[in-house]
Structure 1
């Protein structure tokens, strides 16, 4: 959060309300400041935040409660450890159902400086694809594919190690002590990314057919239907419930594609699909995998570094998504996205020595 018109107390109030809506003045005072700040000072700060549009109040007199204004909730930094220290049922989820209004807020997600990271990476990647020997290029793409297949599968509960994944991808040798389904999941990731590489231009603008095609590759031979979901599903670790009927799911997908079509900068469009496919949950299973692969297809087809997520902690990734589900706060998922772009720039297609 960057607002020079807010004092330190007000920033603390906003951060508290971001993960604890709605709250009374007394609760805000006790939780955020204890006895260090007077009641009058907190009231003055709250009134100022309401005037500036950061906070909305509801009720009257002693029944007045405060919560973060809906147009401010996206980017506020939340104390994620404190938030998840509470059980699923103890956390106050601002949203337990799909929020169609969020589409109208998903613009200008990245600052100019943040977009500059992607643009600098693009210049590097374009030159690498032109200059690298084909054998070196193939080797690096294979290394990236192994990293992505391993980590994306691990996020979904796969227990293969990185070295076991390498052996599977390179030599089709399944690791002892793992299920057949785990091997299939990893190889499906490889096949999906190969499909993107072979048809890069096709994915510069994403259609519903593209989403369904990548999903079908990712869940092949795993006993998962490739149809749009027609009933409700639950998500472990949250009370958020995605849309539970095919018509609303299709409406949400149409809205996603329409919103994406209005976004000119590629990193923001890529992030939108990463976020919203996971939020909509259009399929019975394989949604987060599909979100990551579609997001990468957009980046790669437009000349940007794709993301392997190799250095991501899988629990942190899930927490970032749940925070968005429950609070429509994308601060942590955005941070992961940015960090992984920098990780890709620093770790893939390095300077190879010439002899």
Structure 2
């Protein structure tokens, strides 16, 4: 059954209204130095002093990626696909990754983790399996959680994997009338500890439970 367009419009309204918060949480996840008021100021078109130019450039890309995702949903153009993931990664990881807009062509390592991401030659098949798994799930919240976790663990790109995964998660959320989600800055340490354990074990359940708890805390009383 198609999602009520009213629910989608509400989700988009919340995403636009809370854009600064979403961008702030993204940059906190990456260990960037901006405060929430600084992000709000930047999004108003005012230069924020006292920061490196490369940090401001990186902040700009986080904002552009969220704005592009919103446009895709607004125009009914969001599709969970390799092409969409590559397009969003090309924005969010611009000037960071060895290569942008395509799956990695070599091995990567995750700092602080013993886990070794899969060989690059298996990535197309892995992403196709992810698409099929998502198609088989009926709950869009579950779809989004699976997407974000799979993309983080398989490291499809040289950089920007977690952020791209969260963008794809939110594409699934918004197109199904769910409100936008990000890991709150005050819980980034919890997320980082848990995601290292997830890398090691591949067990999604604790992470998905964490997403459920954080979503419920952000939107008390919202029934998805």
Normalization by structure 1: what TM-score? Answer: 0.56
CA change 1:259–1:224 in 2 (3 A) is same
1:191 aligns with 2:64: yes
2:8–2:175 Cα contact (<8 Å) kept? no
Aligned to 1:181: 54
1:234 aligns with 2:121: no
How far 1:231 sits from its partner (Å)? 1.5
Distance 1:253 1:179 in 2: 36
Q: Which residue among 299, 302, 308 is the counterpart of 2:173?
A: 299
SS in 2 for 1:313: helix
Deviations along 1:151-191, one digit per CA (max 9) or x if unpaired, are 11111121111111111111241331x22222222222221
1:157 aligns with 2:31: yes
The structure whose RCO (Cα within 8 Å, separation 6+) is larger is 2
Distance 1:146 1:224 in 2: 28
Task: Tell me the matched-pair count.
Answer: 216
CA change 1:127–1:260 in 2 (3 A) is closer
CA change 1:173–1:274 in 2 (3 A) is same
Q: Where in structure 1 are there 5+ consecutive unaligned residues?
A: 1-121, 131-136, 349-355
2:61–2:93 Cα contact (<8 Å) kept? yes
How far 1:223 sits from its partner (Å)? 5.3
Aligned to 2:140: 266
How far 1:330 sits from its partner (Å)? 2.5
Aligned to 1:206: 80
Structure of larger gyration radius: 1
Q: Where in structure 2 are there 5+ consecutive unaligned residues?
A: none
CA change 1:232–1:156 in 2 (3 A) is same
SS in 2 for 1:306: coil
Distance 1:168 1:158 in 2: 14
Deviations along 1:283-318, one digit per CA (max 9) or x if unpaired, are 111101101111011101111111032254222111
Normalization by structure 2: what TM-score? Answer: 0.86
Aligned to 1:343: 217
Higher helix share: 2
